[in-house]
Amino acid sequence: MSDEHGPLEPVVVRVARPEHPVAAVAEDDAARRVAAYPSVRMGGPLFGHAEDLGDGRWCVRALWDDTPQAARDTLAHRFREHLAETTDPALAQDLVEVGRVLDWEKVDEVNVAGRRWRVMRADTFTRFGPDGPEPPRPSDPDSGAADSVRLYSDREGLLVDPGAPVGPVQAMVTVDLLSARYPAAGVPADVHADSRRALRTHPHGVVLPAGYAVAECIGGRWRPASRNLASPRQAREAITFKFRYMVPRIGQPTDAEIAAYARAADEVDATQAHEVSVLDRRFRVIRVETLLRFGPDGPEPPRPSDHDPEPPPEAHFAQLRQQGLLPEPE
């Protein structure tokens, strides 16, 4: 693998034959889908935070935010939860001091009780075939109960190690995704440059459990119609919520149109279908693959070109007070 600056560092992915029958079925599903949906398209990044466990292993604690600052705020909230639970004075002091820093500064790595916590980014991808984006696979877990509060709850506490062995198809997918970068055409120059640079600074990676989203085919092109979600069920519920509660309140739909969307929602509930068409509109639940890049020092942090418009909360409040939009604290 190489880019404009010459050969890239060789990537070694350890491979192990799956022994559990469920893992073998998932491998077979993956092989079939890679063949049926061979084209990979990059989406927007996700942000979260992880804890350094040592020996190259990290524990993903959250990965669902759309901006680096939102991920920093999630980390600060997690530390406030720890502060409310701990009875250790030294740990409490650490948590207070780190929380104060996160409330005022854009920092992407902190230390608490001698352990590193890092704000990280992950790339997302969708596979495409002749019929459009890849839907959920038969072997994908589909929760029997929706979790509207904790998105990607299956990733909380997930141990990741780029040196750990994976199945043969997963290894092939990992290598495939590691070589992906944003094209020069269609994205700002700094986004393209950072994407290209990441191939060198963070050449290794781990493919995380899949996410899901809703896409709509508009004018022959598939466009995102929801944020990333944890399960196919959550994505189906995003469709039925839109049909039952959003459509009647947007524009001026007729009674017949409202009834058509309600029937389509009932159909999705009854069949658990991953695709539905209503009044010449076509929606599909799609599968979103997520790659967490790693370098010698751990998972990739936010890039300089990542969209990060929000200031930390206390810094934001200070700006508002300076503008006379908030009263001074008593």
Residue 121's closest CA among 304, 288, 287, 286? 304
Is 326's pLDDT higher than 80? no
Q: Report the alpha-carbon distance of residue 106 to residue 314 in Å, rounded.
A: 11
Residue 276 corresponds to which tokens in the numbers above?
């539905």
Residue 330 lies in a domain: no
Is 195's pLDDT higher than 70? yes
Residue 132 lies in a domain: yes
The stretch 303-310 carries a mean pLDDT of: 96
The SS3 call for residue 298 is: strand
The stretch 168-179 carries a mean pLDDT of: 87
Q: Report the alpha-carbon distance of residue 197 to residue 191 in Å, rounded.
A: 10
Confidence category of residue 285, pLDDT binned at 50, 70, 90: very high
Residue 327 lies in a domain: no
Residue 78 lies in a domain: yes
The SS3 call for residue 169 is: helix
Q: Report the alpha-carbon distance of residue 210 to residue 299 in Å, rounded.
A: 18
Q: What is the pLDDT of residue 9?
A: 67
Residue 164 lies in a domain: yes
pTM of this structure = 0.88
Residue 42 lies in a domain: yes
User: What range defines the domain where residue 283 resides?
Assistant: 10-319
Report yes or no: 309 and 67 within 8 Å, Cβ to Cβ: yes
Digit-coded pLDDT (tens) for 235-274: 999 999 999 999 999 989 999 999 999 999 999 999 999 9
Q: What is the pLDDT of residue 327?
A: 85
Alpha helices in the chain (DSSP H): 21-36, 68-85, 89-104, 168-178, 189-201, 232-241, 255-271, 313-322
What is the CA angle 192-64-290, rounded to 5? 55
Q: 300 Cβ partners below 8 Å, 6+ apart?
A: 120, 121, 122, 198, 201, 202, 292, 293, 294
Digit-coded pLDDT (tens) for 199-239: 999 999 999 999 999 999 999 999 999 988 989 999 999 99
Cα-Cα-Cα-Cα torsion 155, 86, 79, 151, nearest 10 degrees, comes to: 30
Residue 261's closest CA among 282, 247, 272, 249? 247
Digit-coded pLDDT (tens) for 3-57: 555 566 677 788 887 777 777 888 888 889 999 999 999 999 999 999 999 989 9
Cα-Cα-Cα-Cα torsion 30, 235, 211, 27, nearest 10 degrees, comes to: -20
Q: What is the pLDDT of residue 175?
A: 86
3-state secondary structure 233-274: HHHHHHHHHHHHHHHHHCCCCCHHHHHHHHHHHHHHHHHCCC
Residue 140 lies in a domain: yes
Residue 324 lies in a domain: no
Cα atoms in the Cβ-side hemisphere of radius 13 Å centred on 171: 14
When divided into structural domains, the chain yields a total of 1
Of all residues in the chain, the percent with pLDDT exceeding 70 is 93
Neighbours of 131 (CB within 10 A): 11
Q: What is the pLDDT of residue 149?
A: 43
Mean pLDDT, all residues of the chain: 90
Report yes or no: 328 and 321 within 8 Å, Cβ to Cβ: yes
